[in-house]
Amino acid sequence: MSAKDVTDATFADEVLASDKPIMVDFWAEWCGPCRAVSPILDKIAEEHADKLSIVKIDVDNNPETAMKYGITSIPAMKVFKNGEVVKTVIGAKPKPALEADLAEFLA
């Protein structure tokens, strides 16, 4: 199952109001590394569905949110807890490296 899309319009409801940690994958169609990391994120989401939700947002179609969070490099993955960014991971990484970066949210 691939990660659900959120938008500028739904970001507050879906992400900021989430009651469990939620990771947002900022991506774009033309970004090769984003396409590479996307199936890895899906896998992590599937394996840790009870701990961490993962959604994605297309920065081209949702510039407001991308600008608000100062995105200058994608893929950028930000974990939100109670509406605040608590972790940022930048760049496509292999699954073990991403799991290590996200360890505190997956345990």
User: Which one from 15, 24, 34, 44 is the annotated catalytic residue?
Assistant: 34
Of residues 31, 101, 25, 37, the one with CA closest to residue 66: 25
Among 32, 50, 103, 107, which residue sits at the site for another protein (rule: CB under 8 A)? 32
Single-letter code of the amino acid located at 93:
K
* Bridge partners (DSSP) listed for residue 56: 5, 25
106 binds another protein per the rule CB under 8 A: no
When the beta carbons of 27 and 105 are compared against another protein, the nearer one is 27
Our answer to whether residue 34 is catalytic in this structure is yes
Q: Where are the beta strands (DSSP E) in the chain?
A: 4-5, 22-27, 53-58, 76-81, 84-90
Which amino acid is present at 62? Answer: N
Going residue by residue from 38 to 77, which x/- string records binding to another protein, judged by CB under 8 A? --x------------------xx-----x---xxxxx-x-
Residues that bind another protein (CB under 8 A): 28, 30-34, 36-37, 40, 59-60, 66, 70-74, 76, 88, 90-96
Active site members: 31, 34
